[in-house]
Structure 1
Amino acid sequence: MYTPPTTSTRGRVRLNVGGRVFETTAATLAAAGRDTMLGAMVDASWNSGVHDDPAPAEYFIDRDPSCFAVLLDLLRTGDLHVPPGLPEATLYREALYYGLLDRVRSARLGGFDPDRLRLASSVHGRSPGDGVAIRAAPDGGCCVSHGGASGVVRVYNWMLQERRPVYYPSHAPVNDAAYLDASTLLLAARERPGRRDDDGGVSSFSALTGETRHRFRVAHDRQPRSFTATALAFDGGCDVFASCKGRINEYGVAVWDCNTGEQTGFFYEPPGCALGEADRLQWLDGTNTLMVATMFPRTDSSFVSLLDFRDKSVVWSWSDVGTPASLEDKHAVDAVATEDGRSVCLVNQYDDLGFLDLRKNAASSGGVRWRSRSKLATMSGGKTKTKKAACGEETCYPKLAAHGGRLFASTGDAISVFSGPDHVMTSTLRCSNGGAICDFSIGGDRLFALHGEENVFDVWETPPPPII
C-alpha cells in the first residue's frame, strides 16, 4: 500500500530524461506507487539510506523523453493522451520500464460499454488452419485455438503482440480453452483413435512461456485413461470442470483441483442426459451449480442441465427431445445462463432467442419462451456457410455470451447486443470483411470476434470519453 511522502519529499523534483528536463512535484511521482520506479525515487524509505545523502537536485534517466511526457501527464491527470506519430508499442515498452504498464493499460482500455464499442483493430493469424475458438484474457489479451492436427493455440498479450504459442502434448487437437488467470491457460483436447492412454484430455499452461503446468487426468481402476474433453469451466474457488468422453465408461463431467491437478470428483452421465459431449459449461455462483449444455447439431437434440456436485444430483434439466417436426427449427445451437442466474438464454440456427426459467420446472413451465422481437441482426440471415473442409461444408452457427447484465449474440458477420429485462436490441456490431463469425469472447474490457474464413479476429474497445 502506498505511504504518503514525508515533508522532505513534498517539494518539486527535476528529472532529465534523455536530455529533456521535466519539473514536477514529489506527490505526482509518489502517486505512481512505491512499487514503481518513479514512486520509489521519492519514497522516504528509499532516499534515507545508510549514508543519509540528500536527494539530488536533478535525476537523470536515460530513456525516451517523448514517452515520459505522456506517462507524466497520465500521473498528473489520470488520462492517457498519445500524440500522433508516437508508436504505442514504444510507449508500452517505456511504461513497462517505469512500472506503469498496468496504469497505462487501465487508461487505454477504459470501461466496457457495449453500446459504444468500436472496431479498434483486426489481427491476421499466421497458422495455416482456420481458427475455431477465441478466448479473452483477464488482462485484455486473448488466445485463438486452431483445431487441426497441430493442436496449436496462438496467444496474444494485451498489446496484441503474439507470445510463444502453446502446443498441447502430443499435438492433440484443442476443443476449448479458458483462462484461469492472466498467466494460466487451460486447454481441453480431443483424443485421437489409436493413440496411447495419455492422449487428449485437459492441461494447464503458462500463457507467458507455453510451458505445461499440470495434466488433469481421469483415472479408471486407478489407471489414468485417455479421454476427449470438449468444454471447460471453473468456479470462484479452485475447481476446474471439463466434459469428458472416454474409452470405457468415463462419460460425464470431471472436476480437479486447479492448484494441484488432482482429480477430486466425477459426475457420471445419467440416462437421457448428454454430459460427456457438452458444448458449454458454466458455473453459477448463486446456486453453486454447474450448467451443462449439449447443443444441436453435435447431438440430434439439445440438452441443458444443472448439476449439484455436493450430492451428485441433476437439480434441473431441459431437452427438446420429442419436439414435433413442425418445430424442428427450434433446436438450440448455443446456451448461456444470465448473470442473475434466473434464466438460460438459447439461440437456434434461425437466429431466434429463447429463454428457460431456472426457477421453474422446465417441463411444467412449457419449456422455451421464444421471442421473435429478439431476432438477431444479420446481413446474411440464418445460419452462415463459411468454409469447406474435407468432410464437407462447415457452418458458423450463432454464439451467445452474457456480460455486464447484457446479452450478446453473433450471427453471420454481426454481433447483436440486448439490454434490459425484456432483452431489447440496443446496438449491433458490424465486423470486418473477414467473413462470418465462428466465435467471440468478452474479457479485459474488450470484445474479440473470430472469423471462420480468413483466420482473422477483430478487437472491439470502448473509446475514452471526449475531452471537454
Structure 2
Amino acid sequence: MMGFPRDRVKFNVGGKIFETTATTLAVAGKKSFFGAMFDENWNLQSDAAITEHFIDRNPNYFGVLLDLLRTRELYIPPKIDKKFLYREAEYYGVLDHVKSAECDTFDGNRLCLAKSKTGLSAGDGKFTPAIRAGPNGWCCVSQDSVAHVYDWMLEEHPTINLDYRKVNDVCWVDSENIVVSSDEKLVNGGMGLFRASTGELRSTSNEHGIGVWDQVTGKQIDFLSYYTYGNASRLQWLHGTNCLMATSFHPRDGNCCISLLDFRKNTMIMSWSDVRDRVKKPYITDQTKFRDVIPIEESYSICVVDENARLGSIDLRSTTDASVEWKETTRDNTNSSFFRGNNNCYPKLVFHEGQLFSSMKDRISVYCGSDWVLTSEVRQSHGGWICDFSIGGDRLFALHGDEDIFDVWETPHPPIK
C-alpha cells in the first residue's frame, strides 16, 4: 500500500501541516487515536476529497511522536517538556510506544535507576509502609490510613483516604482498579474497590474475608470466609492452577501458616504450617521467623525468607509432610535485631519472569537458575533501608524506610553496536 496516493495522510495540527502514510500510522495500533480514522484494512474511512485532518493540539509534541512511529526511536529535543510529551502520548494512545522506546523488556540483571520520588507524607509511623506496582507501570504507596497513587510519569493522583482507618494491604486488580483492605470497616465493609486514577470508591465488602470482584462491572460476585483459612495477611494468585495462596504471619511467636484455596469451590486444597516443621527440624528455633512467602509455580514450590534474608523452599506437591529446605548463601547474613530497629524493614521476596528478588538492608539481590544463584544486586546510596519493593509494568519500585522516598528502576536498551 505504501507509495500510492491513497496511502498518504495529511494533518493540520495547531496550524502546522504534517504529511505521513497510513503505513506509518498503523504502527500506533487500532486502539490509538489514529486507529479510529481507518477501517480494518487501514484505508481512510472519510471522503477521499478530504485531504487534511485538523487536530487542535500542540504541533511540537505531535512531531516528536510522529517521528517515533516512523523510526521506532524516541528523540526528545531540549525544549520539549517530558511530562507534557507523556500527556500527549496518552492522548494519542501511543504511550506504550514511548515506554518501549525509553526502556527495554524487564531484566533484573540490567536494571538502572531511572528516577526517584520524594516528598511522601511520613504519617504517624505506627504502621509499616508498603508499595505495590501496577501492571501498567503505575504504583501505589500505602502509609497508615492513606494510599498514594502515582501514574507512569510519577504524577500523584487523588489520594485514597480511609479516614484514620489502617490500610492493611492494597492490590491492583487491573490497570484501572485497586482493592484496599483494612482491619476496620470502610463505610460498609472492610475492603473497598477504588478507581486508581480518581480515588473513587466503586464497591465495598461488609464481611471479613476474601472478596471476589468482577473486573468489568466492579461488583462483588463471591466471598470466601476467614473461618476456614485463618486470618490471611497476604494473598497471592497462582495463574497456573487458578488457585489463591493465603499466608498468615503471627508476629508474637513467628509462626507462619500457608493455605492454597480453590475459590470456585470455596475449599482448601493445601495447608502448611511451620509449627510442624520446627518439631521435625530442631535447629529451626523460635528465633527464626518467616518474613515473606511467595509461590514459584515453575518449580512447584513456595519460597520463604527469614529475618536474616536466608532463602528456603517448600515443595507444593507435598501437602502433608512438607518441610523447608534452606539454601546456604554466601552473602553476609545480618542479625535480625538489625531490622527491628529500622522501621520493620524486614526482607521481602518477589518472583518475576523467572528471576527471584530478595531485599536486605539497602539492596535487592537477584537470583537466577534452578539453584537460585546470586547474579546481581540493585543498590542505591540514598534513602536508607528498603522496607518494601514491587515489580510491574517493566519497572521495579523500591520504597525506603528511613526517608520519604521511593526509587524506580528500569532496564535500558543495550547500546547500538
- What TM-score comes out, normalization by structure 2 length? 0.86
Q: 1:133 corresponds to which residue?
A: 130
Matched, 1:319 2:274: yes
Percent sequence identity is 42
CA-to-aligned-CA distance 1:319-355 (integer Å, 9 cap, x gap): 2355547633432111111132611111111111011
Q: 2:356 corresponds to which residue?
A: 407
Distance (whole Å) between structure 2 residues aligned to residue 343 and residue 452 of structure 1: 30
SS in 2 for 1:340: helix
Moved more, 296-305 or 348-357: 296-305
1:265 alignment partner AA:
L
Contact kept, 8 Å, 2:158 with 2:199, in 1: the verdict is yes
Contact kept, 8 Å, 2:133 with 2:391, in 1: the verdict is yes
SS in 1 for 2:199: coil
CA-to-aligned-CA distance 1:59-83 (integer Å, 9 cap, x gap): 6656444433321221112222334
Distance (whole Å) between structure 2 residues aligned to residue 19 and residue 107 of structure 1: 28
1:189 alignment partner AA:
S
Aligned positions of 1:304-453 closer than 5 A: 304-309=258-263, 310=265, 312-320=267-275, 322-323=278-279, 324=282, 327-340=285-298, 342-361=300-319, 363=321, 365=322, 367-373=323-329, 384-385=338-339, 394-453=343-402
Distance (whole Å) between structure 1 residues aligned to residue 75 and residue 396 of structure 2: 22
Aligned positions of 1:17-416 closer than 5 A: 17=13, 22-39=18-35, 44-48=43-47, 53-56=49-52, 63-129=57-123, 132-147=129-144, 151-168=145-162, 170-191=163-184, 201-218=190-207, 244=208, 253-258=209-214, 259-269=218-228, 275-276=230-231, 278-295=232-249, 297=251, 299-309=253-263, 310=265, 312-320=267-275, 322-323=278-279, 324=282, 327-340=285-298, 342-361=300-319, 363=321, 365=322, 367-373=323-329, 384-385=338-339, 394-416=343-365
- What TM-score comes out, normalization by structure 1 length? 0.77
What's the offset of the Cα at 1:14? 5.1
CA-to-aligned-CA distance 1:269-322 (integer Å, 9 cap, x gap): 47xxxx21x332222233343222223525542222323442623523132355
2:395 alignment partner AA:
R
Task: Give the unaligned 5+ runs of structure 1.
Answer: 219-243, 245-252, 388-392
Q: CA, structure 1 residues 6+381, in 2 after alignment: closer, same or farther (shift >3 Å)? A: farther
Q: CA, structure 1 residues 308+63, in 2 after alignment: closer, same or farther (shift >3 Å)? A: closer
Moved more, 105-114 or 330-339: 105-114
1:143 alignment partner AA:
C
Moved more, 340-349 or 30-39: 30-39
Contact kept, 8 Å, 2:254 with 2:288, in 1: the verdict is no
Contact kept, 8 Å, 1:205 with 1:211, in 2: the verdict is yes
What's the offset of the Cα at 1:8? 4.3
Count how many residue pairs are aligned between Structure 1 and Structure 2: 404
Task: Give the unaligned 5+ runs of structure 2.
Answer: none
Contact kept, 8 Å, 2:211 with 2:224, in 1: the verdict is yes
> What RMSD, in angstroms, separates the aligned Cα atoms of the two structures?
3.0
Q: CA, structure 1 residues 260+60, in 2 after alignment: closer, same or farther (shift >3 Å)? A: closer
Distance (whole Å) between structure 2 residues aligned to residue 33 and residue 197 of structure 1: 41
SS in 2 for 1:268: helix
Distance (whole Å) between structure 1 residues aligned to residue 95 and residue 284 of structure 2: 57
Contact kept, 8 Å, 2:2 with 2:21, in 1: the verdict is no
SS in 2 for 1:372: coil
Q: CA, structure 1 residues 449+368, in 2 after alignment: closer, same or farther (shift >3 Å)? A: same
SS in 1 for 2:303: strand
- Runs of 4+ displaced beyond 6 Å: none
Q: CA, structure 1 residues 63+286, in 2 after alignment: closer, same or farther (shift >3 Å)? A: closer
